[in-house]
Amino acid sequence: MAGSPQQLIDGEIAELKRFGYTPFGDAAADWEGMWQLLKGDFATLQRAQVPGYAQMSPWPQEGARIYMRRRLLADRLFEECQELYRRLHGDGINTELVEAYSLAREAYEEAVLDFGKARELLEDVFTRTVDLVMVSE
């Protein structure tokens, strides 16, 4: 038996929280804290120690912020999907809500792809900056 709509959303939220998802608030972005959650994505055999946010020079730091901003955008779009999904199940299925949900879901999926592209960009920056520093030490 399938779970309720809220159970399905809660399962997605639990998965996203593993990567630093937090519901939108008024607080400024915690780049250092967010980076602590995400920097493991960049650990390799050659780069076992990924630098902390404050340890990076401006070039990789900006790449890290782009990566984290794209994750934050995906988080916000996910929240829009959640709200529309709840409305579909609460207000009843209608064409307008289905189409709205479809648009929101597509935007969220595109944001997740952009997050992946930002990861590739930052990997390239690390290869050209951080890895060179670690090799020369």
Q: Alpha-carbon distance 74 to 104, whole Å?
A: 11
Q: Give the burial string for 62-91 (b: 16+ CB within 10 Å, else e).
A: ebbbbbbbbbbbbbebbbbbbebbeebeee
Instruction: Kindly report the backbone phi and psi dihedral angles of residue 21, in degrees, each rounded to the nearest multiple of 5, phi listed first.
Output: -60, 135
Tens of pLDDT, residues 105-123:
999 999 999 999 999 999 9
Q: Alpha-carbon distance 63 to 33, whole Å?
A: 16
Rg (CA), the chain: 18
What amino acid is encoded at 74 in this protein? A
Residue with tokens 């250092």: 32
For residue 19, give the H/E element and its range: none
- pTM for the model: 0.74
Tens of pLDDT, residues 2-33:
566 666 667 777 777 666 666 656 567 889 99
Tens of pLDDT, residues 52-98:
999 999 999 999 999 999 999 999 999 999 999 999 989 887 999 99
